[in-house]
Amino acid sequence: MTLKILSAFTFALIYYTNTFAQTCCSSSTNTFAMLGSDSKFKSSHAEPEPFIYKPGKGKVVSFGTPDGKKSKAFYVAASAKTNKYVFVFHEWWGLNDYIIQTAEQLQTELGDVNVLALDLYDGEVATKADVAASLMQSTKAERCLAIIMGASAFAGDDAQIQTIGWCFGGGWSMQAAEILKTKTKGCIIYYGMPEKDAEQIEKINFPVLGIFAKNDGWITPKIVSDFETAMKAANKKVEIKIYDAEHAFANPSNPKHNKEFADDAMKLSVGFLKTNW
């Protein structure tokens, strides 16, 4: 019988699948994914306005994942070599041109940082709420973990990583930051499901910026308040900003987009990222 030698990342994937995945995804990302069956949640997400963006300096890259597959991401490299990375996590629509544009904007604002926009849908992009809901609900935690770990390997052993994500990607920004452990330097959540598990909160070793909407009927002020209280009780670094807005207010394709608040949130996000390297 031929013995198969498993890579370190394969061992790590098995470990996270058997321990971390069940915990994180039952309490946060799975909870958010279940919103895909909520008709009010779906109807609150208007179809994205048609938008085609021609990247100025980024490109699509491919890397292996520890489950034996491949993943693609949109990569915007710094002009000079650096181990600083920002991992970007898309909304429930997928890695569309709005996210690609934002990835380039972040890299321009930050300068000496590489930006990597991950694709948790493996190439699928939705323009209809029903399709987005289906994609979100069918996303497997094990695959997302493999993509995050493959991206970590792409960044390198000495990478210093911060994460940012919106909606569905906001929750995964939080979980990725936890998964990456000592590589993580900061995490930004835009109206995504924050960590609920007290044991996981105790393990957080990075500052968190949470950007939320007062009139969000799903990631409610109560959920946000409970998260902030738990973080502070555990002596964790957390900053919460709540805007008098609706869910997904920062998405320019959303009819409820609030440009003033979105611009302010981006300024706050860039400042946060710059302080944590």
Which domains are seen in the chain, by residue range?
8-275 (3.40.50.1820)
Residues in the chain: 277
Q: Which amino acid is at 65?
A: T
Left if phi > 0, otherwise alpha if psi is -120 to 50, otherwise beta: which for 248? left
With contact defined as beta carbons under 8 Å apart, do 239 and 272 qualify? Answer: yes
With contact defined as beta carbons under 8 Å apart, do 184 and 265 qualify? Answer: no
With a CB cutoff of 8 Å and minimum separation 6, the contacts of 197 are 23, 24, 27, 28
CA triplet 131, 142, 93: central angle to 5 degrees? 25
The per-residue pLDDT for 35 is: 64
Q: How far apart are CA 57 and CA 268, in angstroms?
A: 24
What residues pair up with 84 in beta bridges, in sequence order? 160
Q: How far apart are CA 34 and CA 193, in angstroms?
A: 11
The per-residue pLDDT for 147 is: 98
Nearest to 32 by CA among 128, 135, 152, 183: 135
Question: What's the sign of the alpha-carbon dihedral 238, 209, 74, 71?
Answer: positive
Helices 97-110/259-275 angle, 10° precision: 50
Nearest to 95 by CA among 60, 67, 142: 60
Q: Which residues of the chain have pLDDT under 70?
A: 1-38, 42-43
- Cα 245 → chain centroid: 21
Q: How far apart are CA 78 and CA 85, in angstroms?
A: 9
The per-residue pLDDT for 37 is: 62
- Cα 73 → chain centroid: 13
Q: Which amino acid is at 57?
A: K
Report CA-CA distances (Å) from 201 to 10, 89, 121. 25, 20, 27
User: What's the pTM?
Assistant: 0.90
The per-residue pLDDT for 30 is: 67
The per-residue pLDDT for 256 is: 83
Q: Which of 40-68 are b and which e, b meaning 16 or more Cβ less than 10 Å from the residue's Cβ?
A: ebbebbeebeeeeeeeeebeeeebebbbe
Maximum CA pair distance of the chain? Answer: 64
- Per DSSP, 55 falls in state -
